[in-house]
């Protein structure tokens, strides 16, 4: 099977940050002698070089689907990268100290794309849940409804387009008031500072009345709201309109 080796070699040697590097002894496949190699972990690829200064890796171990285990081999500080499947190989590696071994076992066991994806999904979920919390009692900082800008400094630095957040998110202002009590000190973060040009209110405007669970058309959607994204979109629309009306009021005062 062909592999884009030149690109792999580039990935291994370019200056993108490595997730771990160091010397390890690697046991050969056919012969049981150990060879000391310079290892570089980037993402889910474990590259190994003959020498630290070598310009190209001797080889790479693709880490998807592996298990990393401590080894009871005669050597100290040994651990193994084991793959499932009948004919799949086990790589036995030996570190030069306890600390190095632990560091490698930790970073290798979290190196898979799948693991990264799991963590990302979990954080995405947490973020979404927080945005839900916003719908319950929005403060006054936003732009005209439908064109809220996400003023995160991280966004401004990101060289490429961002991950696709759920459809509702881009409408929200990333600096909305998360705490509902007026006057609470906001974290001193420039990206979080609410600056809506032209609005001069020195103190946060009064919050809209909290909706009661039994209230009007929102009531029924609210109960199911936590479950259904389409209900959330409706809720979001409703709040958005109310907030736009309120904003109109404040601007006129």
Partner 1 sequence: MRYNERELLCLARQPAEKAAEILMRLPRKGSVLKKRLVKLVVNFLFYFRTDEAEPIGALLLEHCRITKEEENVFSISFVEEPERKYCFECASEEQCQEWIEALKRASYEFMRRTLIFYRNEIQKLTGKDPLEQFGISEEARFQLGPPQQ
Does position 83 interact with partner 1 (CB under 8 A)? The reply is yes
Does position 251 interact with partner 1 (CB under 8 A)? The reply is no
- Which residues inside 95-114 make contact with partner 1, applying CB under 8 A? 106-107, 110, 112-114
Q: How far is the CB of 42 from partner 1 (least distance, A)?
A: 8
Closer CB to partner 1, 156 or 227, in the complex: 156
CB neighbours of 192 closer than 8 A, spacing ≥ 6? 174, 175, 186
85: left (phi over 0), alpha (psi -120 to 50) or beta: left
Out of 51, 189, 199, 249, the only residue in the binding site for partner 1 (CB under 8 A) is 189
Closer CB to partner 1, 64 or 199, in the complex: 64
Out of 70, 99, 162, 184, the only residue in the binding site for partner 1 (CB under 8 A) is 162
Out of 23, 50, 58, 145, the only residue in the binding site for partner 1 (CB under 8 A) is 58
H or E stretch at 36: strand 34-42
Q: How far is CA 99 from the centre of its chain?
A: 27
Backbone φ and ψ for 33, nearest 5 degrees, come out as: -70, 145
- Which residues inside 28-47 make contact with partner 1, applying CB under 8 A? 42-45
- Per the CB < 8 A criterion, the answer to whether 222 and 235 are in contact is yes
Out of 76, 98, 99, 120, the only residue in the binding site for partner 1 (CB under 8 A) is 120
- How many Å apart are CA 32 and CA 111, to the nearest integer? 26
H or E stretch at 66: strand 66-70
Q: How far is the CB of 61 from partner 1 (least distance, A)?
A: 5
- How many Å apart are CA 74 and CA 87, to the nearest integer? 24
In sequence order, the β-bridge partners of residue 15 are none
Identify the residue whose tokens are 């290892």.
39
Identify the residue whose tokens are 């909305």.
176
Does position 50 interact with partner 1 (CB under 8 A)? The reply is no
Q: How far is the CB of 249 from partner 1 (least distance, A)?
A: 27
Positions touching partner 1 (CB under 8 A) are 1-11, 14, 16-20, 42-45, 56-62, 64-66, 83, 85, 87-89, 106-107, 110, 112-114, 116-117, 119-120, 123-124, 126-127, 130, 152, 154-155, 157-164, 174, 178, 187, 189, 191-192
């Amino acid at each position: 099977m062909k592999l884009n080796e030149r690109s792999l070699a580039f990935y291994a040697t370019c200056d993108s940050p490595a997730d771990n590097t160091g010397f390890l002894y690697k046991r050969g496949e056919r012969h049981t002698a150990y060879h000391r190699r310079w290892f570089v972990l980037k993402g889910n690829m474990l590259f190994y070089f003959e020498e630290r200064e070598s310009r190209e890796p001797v080889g790479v171990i693709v880490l998807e689907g592996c298990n990393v285990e401590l080894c009871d081999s005669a050597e100290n500080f040994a651990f193994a990268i084991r793959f499932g499947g009948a004919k799949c190989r086990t790589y036995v590696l030996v570190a030069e100290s306890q600390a190095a071994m632990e560091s490698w076992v930790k970073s290798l066991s979290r190196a898979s794309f799948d693991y990264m994806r799991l963590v990302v999904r979990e954080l995405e979920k947490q973020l979404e849940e927080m945005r839900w919390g916003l719908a319950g009692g929005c403060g006054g900082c936003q732009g005209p409804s439908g064109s809220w800008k996400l003023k995160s400094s991280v966004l401004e630095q990101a060289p490429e387009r961002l991950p696709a957040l759920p459809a509702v998110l881009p409408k929200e202002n990333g600096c909305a008031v998360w705490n509902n009590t007026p006057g609470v000190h906001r974290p001193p973060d420039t990206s979080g500072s609410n600056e809506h040009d032209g609005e001069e209110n020195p103190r946060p405007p009064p919050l809209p009345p909290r909706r009661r669970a039994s209230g009007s058309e929102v009531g029924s959607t609210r109960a199911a709201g936590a479950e259904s994204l389409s209900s959330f979109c409706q809720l979001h629309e409703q709040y958005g309109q109310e907030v736009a009306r309120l904003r109109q009021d404040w601007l006129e005062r």
